Amino acid sequence: MRKPIIAGNWKMHKTRDEALQFIYAVNQNVQSDEVIDTVVCAPDVLLRCLVKRQGDYVRIGAQNMHFEEQGAFTGETSPIVLQDTGVKYVILGHSERRAMFNETDETVNKKALKAFEHELTPIVCVGEALEQRENGTTNEVVDAQVTKALNGLTNEQIKEVVIAYEPIWAIGTGKTATPEMANETCGYIRTVLEREYGKDVADAVRIQYGGSVKPHNIKELMSQEHIDGALVGGASLEPESFLALVNYNE
């Protein structure tokens, strides 16, 4: 059985005081990490204060990092700094990073390789645009994204990767892929993993769905065979809705 993983992606939201109010509100109200992994991915400037105050069953993640450890990269964050800060996870290749900041499959791959060097678990985002969904090339798009992102990782490392399938047309739009649609593509991703790395690896990798996930649809999404979690934007910003998501199975 793959352990569910629900990760909130705050994007560019929250002041320090708001972040602290949030973490204090959720710390004692999430389930054991023997049951589910609960992750909060926050802006870099908030990471240290959250790590210092995370509860026993909450883990903090970053939203991006550079693939170099140091150098003349103004505005970037070093994986060494993230490791030193104490975060556990890092989101790589989110569609907003790809669209707005020129993230590519190649840079995602470099970052994934570097993440493991610094004991960070990558949440690798993949997903198609609306035009690609409508012209029937969803599988080809996610196939290429997955295989390029994982290139060079060992099978044991790949087992630790979290893949987040986020159809671009469903992110922040209020539109959600039906549970069946989401499960179909997550299942295809698992097929790609089995083709490339074998059934043992494919069965171990956790695949999240992301795209307008809300408390009212989380149970149905999580009931699908190949959906092991969710990467959540807007619904992760308030403690009440975030707790409804991470405690969906209670």
Q: Is 131 a catalytic residue?
A: no
Cβ contact 94:60 at 8 Å = no
Amino acid at 38: T
Beta strands in 196-245 (DSSP E): 206-209, 229-232
Q: Given 96, 103, 128, 166, which residue is catalytic?
A: 166
Amino acid at 207: I
159 is in an annotated binding site: no
CA atoms of 16 and 19, how far apart (whole Å): 5
- The conformation of residue 32, written as its DSSP 8-state character, comes to -
Element (DSSP H or E) covering residue 218 = helix 218-222
Angle, alpha carbons 16-21-25 (nearest 5°): 145
Q: Does 174 show up as a binding residue in the annotation?
A: no
CA 120 to chain centre: 12
To the query of whether residue 225 is one of the catalytic residues in this protein, the response is no
234 marked as binding residue? yes
Does 172 appear as a known binding residue? Answer: yes
Catalytic residue among 94, 96, 103, 128: 94
Q: Which residues pair with 163 in a beta bridge?
A: 124, 207
Amino acid at 165: Y
- b/e 220-232 (16+ beta carbons within 10 angstroms → b): ebbebebbbbbbb
Is 86 part of any known ligand binding site? no
- Summarize the annotated binding site for substrate as residue ranges: 9-11, 172, 212, 233-234
- Summarize the annotated binding site as residue ranges: 9-11, 172, 212, 233-234
Residues known to be catalytic: 94, 166
